[in-house]
Amino acid sequence: MRKLLVIAALLLSVGAHALTTDEAKAIAIGEGDARIEALRAAVAKPDEKTVAFIQALSDDAVKVVAGSPVIVNGDQGADPVTGAPVALPDSAEDVMNNNRMRGELDSALATLKLLSPDEAVRRAAIKTLQGNVDESSLVLLDKAFSQEANAELKDQLGQLRAAALLGSSDKAKRLEAAALLGQSAQAATKTLLMERLQVETESDVKVALGNSLRKVEATLAWGDRLGAIFSGISLGSILLLVALGLAITYGLMGVINMAHGELMMIGAYATYVVQGVFQKFFPGAFDWYLLASVPVAFMASALVGAALERSVIRFLYGRPLETLLATWGISLMLMQLVRTLFGAQNVGVENPSWMSGGMQVLGNLSLPYNRLVIVGFAFFVLAAVAFMIGKTRLGLFVRGVTQNRPIAACMGVNTARIDTYAFALGSGIAGLAGCALSQVGNVGPDLGQGYIVDAFMVVVLGGVGQLAGTVYAALGLGILNKFLEGWTGAVLAKIAVLVLIIVFIQKRPQGIFAMKGREA
């Protein structure tokens, strides 16, 4: 009932005629084409009862009693025209709506919602109607177009109106529609133009349709290119988060940590645990759980990393092969521990409401908020790491120990403690990467396995120990990978990127940014 009242409010400014019994029968009973024609005629000038009847049909809340449709509400029935109560006998038949009829009902309701005072409702209605309008919708489209105050939505309504005119018997209207549709950036418009081009008989209209189709294809191509660039930046930001920790543990400390992916996994599961705590104890503040998860994920992975360094890694400095084997074994142990605690199945981590949805830039280009937040978060973490390494006392000690351990020790630096701090910092950053990854996919025991190889490639390609090189390599690999995927597919794109990296390293073993001067 609440939904019906909202839809009925849309008709305040529309010239309407009262629903008749014959019209209700024609919409609910008979052959599909006849029902659709009657529905379209009713939508042209609906009243509140027409809208309530269409909504009831969409909700499968209409039965046929003695050859007449009746709206069902619980155990009671009501006449759609008079509202009088009608008894529901056992012989009452359901109104059967096939997929085509359901699509027409959805389009009819969406057309009515174009007059909603709620901009979000109007925007959703326009999206629903794209590619599903004809001349019968023109009355309400014209009314909605004249009332629309939002310039963006008014332009989209103009495109819908042009699409409706495209099927007109008037040649001049079809020419006008073809010219207007050439300005569209919607994939549905391309399909509409292609379908109309196949049945059009007038040569000059065909030429106009062909010109508009080429314009739309060019616009959509730009959307695809920009989409690939954004997807590449999104992937690159994730690789950047993953590789930042390795830039410290491997780039600065020379430790080949094969358990780095599992430290990411720990950060992701820490986020999952915090989500569960908020769901159980603080449901009203659930949208803030992710902000609480960031320090928790960092500390969880940092503590595991510190324990790993103090118990195993400290005895293996300068022995890279033994370090690789030891950390690989530890990675297997961590995965099995997580399977024991949380199960072998993936777990879901929900996006807060402020990270749901996206920003519509072009007709075929939407930027998801969760990806935008992760890109910003990656560069925030990068700035924090750069500041810590370059401007703080801890960063000075880390650089001193990694560049010349004996001299740093002679200057009074506790090198063993600095090793632990540095390894914990790299591990904590891996936990932040896991926290971010939990917002774009499921969390499972094998989460880190899909990123560890790419992360090492980023560090090596960028230049060992170089944060700037890590940024260039991560974003470059992300964008290159997405562009190649569009041409070759995901598997061949990975192979091509690996081959390019091998060739590059053969020509420049130091990576993009090599150490200079005394550091080298």
State residue 458's pLDDT score. 79
**Are 290 and 420 members of one domain?**
yes
What's the pLDDT score for residue 519?
A: 45
H or E segment and range at residue 62: strand 62-65
Q: Return the ∠ at Cα 413 (arms to 412 and 414), rounded to 5°.
A: 115
Residue tagged 């690939």 (tokens): 228
269 confidence band (pLDDT: 50, 70, 90): very high
Indicate the helix (H) or strand (E) that contains 489: none
Phi and psi at residue 62, in whole multiples of 5°? -130, 135
pLDDT in the model for residue 510: 66
Burial (Cβ within 10 Å: 0-12, 13-18, ≥19) of residue 351? middle
Q: For the chain, what is the domain count?
A: 3
Indicate if 313 and 450 belong to the same structural domain. Answer: yes
pLDDT in tens, 195-227: 778 877 788 878 888 888 888 888 888 888 888
CA dihedral 429, 482, 458, 305 (to 10 degrees): 30
Q: Per-residue pLDDT averaged across 42-61, rounded?
A: 77
**Structural contact between residues 454 and 245, judged by C-beta atoms closer than 8 angstroms:** no
Q: Residue 368: which H helix or E strand, with range?
A: strand 365-368
372: pLDDT strictly greater than 80? yes
Give backbone dihedrals phi and psi of 148, rounded to 5 degrees, phi first: -65, 130
In a domain, 412, yes or no: yes
Lowest-pLDDT choice from 325-329, 368-372, 511-515? 511-515
Same domain, 94 and 119: no
Highest mean pLDDT among 104-113, 165-174, 273-282, 497-506: 273-282
**334 within a domain of the structure (yes/no):** yes
Give residue 296's pLDDT.
94
- Judged on CB neighbours under 10 Å (0-12, 13-18, 19+), 89 is exposed
Mean pLDDT calculated for residue range 486-491: 72
Q: Which domain holds residue 166?
A: 114-201
Location of structure tokens 């991560």: 474
Residue 406 lies in a domain: yes
Overall average pLDDT of the 467-477 stretch: 78
Give 298's pLDDT tier (boundaries 50, 70, 90): very high
Q: How confident is the model at residue 301 (pLDDT cuts 50, 70, 90)?
A: very high
Decide if 236 is inside a domain.
Answer: no
The CA dihedral of 328, 330, 332, 333, to the nearest 10 degrees, is 170
Please tell me the distance from the alpha carbon of residue 56 to that of residue 79, in angstroms, as a whole number.
12
Answer whether 246's CB lies under 8 Å from 305's CB: no
Give yes or no: residues 63 and 93 share one domain. Answer: yes
pLDDT for 142-177, tens place per residue? 777 777 777 777 777 777 777 777 777 777 877 877
Q: What is the mean pLDDT of residues 178-197?
A: 77
3-state secondary structure of 501: helix
Residue 517: which pLDDT band, with cuts at 50, 70 and 90?
A: very low
Radius of gyration of the chain (CA): 31
pLDDT of residue 351: 85
- Among 153, 182, 201, give the residue marking a domain's end: 201
Which among 487, 187, 162 is positioned nearest to 365, based on CA atoms?
187
321 and 461 inside one domain: yes
Q: Do residues 518 and 505 touch, judged by C-beta distance below 8 A?
A: no
- Inside any domain, residue 207: no
Q: Which of 81, 105, 129 is the last residue of a domain?
A: 105
264 in Cβ contact with 331 (< 8 Å): no
pLDDT score recorded for residue 432: 92
Residue 87 lies in a domain: yes
Which one is predicted more confidently, 111 or 284? 284
pTM: 0.69
Does a structural domain hold residue 235? no
Residues 6+ apart with CB under 8 A from 146: none
Q: How far is CA 49 from the centre of its chain?
A: 39
Q: How far apart are CA 504 and CA 501, in angstroms?
A: 5
Using CA atoms, how far residue 205 sits from 179, 210, 256, 501, in Å, is: 10, 9, 66, 52
Clarify whether residues 30 and 147 are in a common domain.
no
Q: Which amino acid is at 484?
A: L
In this structure, the answer to whether residues 119 and 168 fall within a common structural domain is: yes
What confidence score (pLDDT) does residue 271 get? 92
300 and 413: one domain? yes
Mean pLDDT of the region 74-101: 80
- Per-residue confidence (pLDDT) for residue 303, from 0 to 100: 93
Give the per-residue pLDDT at 17: 60
Is the same domain home to 316 and 346? yes
b/e per residue 454-490 (b: at least 16 CB within 10 A) = bbbbbbbbbbbbbbebbbbbbbbbbbbbbbbbeeeee
Domain boundary among 78, 105, 132: 105
Candidates 40, 437, 32; CA nearest to 242 is 437
User: pLDDT-derived band of residue 515, with 50, 70 and 90 as boundaries?
Assistant: low
Q: Checking DSSP bridges between strand 76-78 and strand 85-86, what pairing results, if any? A: antiparallel
Residues 416 and 444 in one domain: yes
Pair 431, 263: CB distance under 8 Å: yes
Is 91 contained in some domain? Answer: yes
Residue 518 has what pLDDT? Answer: 42
* 292 compared with 31, residue with greater pLDDT: 292
Span 452-461, average pLDDT: 78
Whether 142 and 183 share a structural domain: yes
How long is the chain?
520
Residue 481 near residue 493, CB atoms below 8 Å: yes
Q: Alpha-carbon distance 210 to 202, whole Å?
A: 12
The confidence score (pLDDT) of residue 514 equals 56
444 and 392: one domain?
yes
